[in-house]
């Protein structure tokens, strides 16, 4: 099987993880990278020995030798690169939120279908074994169809200083919306949300949302950025899915590993992306490897769903609207 030739656009903290994860998949060649920041482009290019370097994504996307592009730019500007890449015959992985605008997300899927290419959302939690196992337990009848779901996603106050650029519903809750839609296998009917703007940023520091699905399932979401940095807990997430036959739950506050030193305590995540013995492991690599294998073998990447991602944006829009107006939204 020929190697899958990959490009990454956007080399911030997460874009570099994409480069690192792709580079450790033997069947992949990372042949081009792009960032508008020249210094970052040079540093990442030098670190991973990648020759194809661009500050303008339009130039990169004119190349005819790229099979797959990861779009890892700011939340607000995924559209142009995604459409150009699909139009040039490339497959695209577009990071979450695929867009903050419903019509843009729909345009991406329409373009992919017109050009017969895959567009895949960066909802990598489907590749985290714990979340995936809950889906399997639903599918096999072990816990039965979801009746009640609770999702907490808590990040640090320091991270909020960077990520308050985008509403919490799109930045954080969107991960759980994808899981909830996947688990319920149903569309959302009604949405009620309440925000708490603790620091006065445009985006709420604390966001609660209550959803009712057409299936009858209810789901409650608590996304917040209130963990003090000093606590040394990067992720403080939990989930409970009560099905008709049983319950699944976990808490990821600690991977089990704690490091204590002069800077305090750290609890590094080991599930999403970790570097080990010169390679990478975790949900990001598994997601990218799955997509590359599908491209290499001509299979459809049906484990992911851009249609679900679009519905997730539709629900996130309703959450933003409900939190701003205090009204219940019927979809
Ligand atoms: N799936 C996940 O778990 C996960 C985790 C982190 C971030 N993300 C998502 O990944 C995306 C990037 O996040 P980040 O944390 O790396 O952000 P970041 O701010 O660290 O990096 C964004 C990078 O994109 C570059 N950029 C912006 N517009 C560009 C353009 N038009 N052309 C080329 N480069 C451009 C910026 O210069 C910057 O280097 C966001 O959508 C974010 O929500 C997903």
Q: Is the CB of 34 under 6 A from ligand 1?
A: yes
**Mean pLDDT across 186-197:** 98
Q: Is the CB of 284 under 6 A from ligand 1?
A: no
Q: Name the pLDDT band for 2 (thresholds 50, 70, 90).
A: confident
Query: Candidates 3.40.50.720, 2.60.40.10, 3.40.50.300, 3.20.20.100; correct CATH number of 4-121?
Result: 3.40.50.720
The residue whose two tokens read 């714990």 is 130
CA angle, 222 then 226 then 231, to 5°: 120
Task: Kindly tell me if the per-residue pLDDT of 42 is higher than 80.
Answer: yes
Q: Is the CB of 11 under 6 A from ligand 1?
A: yes
pLDDT in tens, 100-154: 999 999 999 999 999 999 999 999 999 999 999 999 999 999 999 999 999 999 9
Domain-by-domain residue ranges, the chain? 4-121, 126-272+311-330
d(CA 331, CA 317): 10
Q: Which long-range contacts (CB under 8 A, 24 or more apart) does 130-136 make?
A: 130/250, 130/252, 130/271, 131/179, 131/239, 133/248, 134/183, 134/239, 134/241, 134/248, 135/182, 135/183
Fold exhibited by the domain 126-272+311-330:
Dihydrodipicolinate Reductase; domain 2 (3.30.360)
Q: Which helix (H) or strand (E) holds 55?
A: none
Return the structure tokens found at 122.
Answer: 């960066």
Task: Kindly tell me if the per-residue pLDDT of 77 is higher than 90.
Answer: yes
Residue nearest to atom 20 of ligand 1 (CA): 12
Q: How much distance in Å is there from the Cα of 43 to the middle of ligand 1?
A: 16
Residue 252, pLDDT score: 86
Q: How much distance in Å is there from the Cα of 78 to the middle of ligand 1?
A: 9
Residue 135, pLDDT score: 98
Residue nearest to atom 5 of ligand 1 (CA): 14
CA angle, 155 then 160 then 164, to 5°: 130
CA 263 to chain CA centroid, Å, is 29
Task: Kindly tell me if the per-residue pLDDT of 158 is higher than 80.
Answer: yes
Residue 254, pLDDT score: 73
pLDDT in tens, 279-313: 999 999 999 999 999 999 999 999 999 999 999 99
Residue 268, pLDDT score: 87
Q: How much distance in Å is there from the Cα of 1 to the middle of ligand 1?
A: 31
Q: How much distance in Å is there from the Cα of 71 to the middle of ligand 1?
A: 8
Q: Is the CB of 94 under 6 A from ligand 1?
A: no
Q: How much distance in Å is there from the Cα of 14 to the middle of ligand 1?
A: 6
Most informative mutation of 72, 99, 166, 203 for ligand 1 (most atoms within 8 A of CB)? 72
pLDDT in tens, 174-186: 999 999 999 999 9
Q: Is the CB of 122 under 6 A from ligand 1?
A: yes
Residue 256, pLDDT score: 82
Q: How much distance in Å is there from the Cα of 76 to the middle of ligand 1?
A: 10
How much of the chain, in percent, has pLDDT values that exceed 90? 94
Q: Name the pLDDT band for 317 (thresholds 50, 70, 90).
A: very high
Residue 255, pLDDT score: 74
Residue 253, pLDDT score: 80
């Amino acid at each position: 099987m020929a190697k899958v030739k990959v490009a990454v656009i956007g080399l911030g903290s997460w874009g570099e993880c994409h480069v690192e994860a792709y580079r450790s998949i033997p069947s992949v060649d990372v042949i081009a990278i792009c960032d508008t920041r020249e210094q970052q482009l040079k540093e990442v290019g030098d670190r991973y020995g990648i020759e194809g370097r661009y500050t303008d994504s339009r130039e990169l996307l004119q190349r005819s030798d790229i099979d797959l592009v990861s779009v890892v730019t700011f939340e607000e500007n995924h559209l142009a690169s995604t459409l150009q890449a699909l139009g040039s015959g490339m497959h695209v992985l577009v990071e979450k939120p695929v867009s903050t605008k419903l019509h843009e997300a729909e345009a991406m899927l329409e373009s992919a279908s017109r050009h017969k290419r895959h567009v895949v959302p960066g909802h990598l939690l489907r590749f985290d074994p714990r979340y995936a196992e809950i889906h399997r337990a639903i599918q096999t009848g072990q816990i039965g169809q979801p009746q009640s779901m609770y999702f907490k996603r808590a990040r640090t106050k320091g991270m909020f200083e960077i990520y308050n650029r985008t509403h919490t519903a799109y930045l954080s809750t969107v991960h759980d919306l994808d899981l909830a839609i996947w688990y319920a296998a149903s569309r959302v009917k009604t949405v009620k949300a309440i925000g708490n703007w603790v620091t006065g940023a445009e985006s709420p520091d604390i966001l609660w949302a209550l959803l009712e699905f057409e299936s009858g399932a209810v789901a409650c979401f608590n996304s917040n950025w209130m963990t003090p940095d000093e606590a040394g807990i990067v992720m403080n997430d939990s989930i409970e899915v009560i099905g008709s036959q049983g319950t699944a739950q976990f808490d990821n506050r600690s991977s089990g590993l704690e490091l204590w030193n002069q800077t305090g305590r750290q609890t590094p995540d080991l599930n999403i992306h970790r570097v080990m013995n010169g390679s990478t492991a975790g949900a990001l690599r598994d997601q990218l490897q799955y997509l590359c294998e599908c491209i290499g073998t001509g299979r459809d990447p049906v484990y992911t769903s851009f249609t679900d991602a679009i519905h997730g944006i539709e629900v996130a829009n309703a959450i933003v609207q409900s939190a701003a107006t205090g009204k219940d939204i019927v979809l």
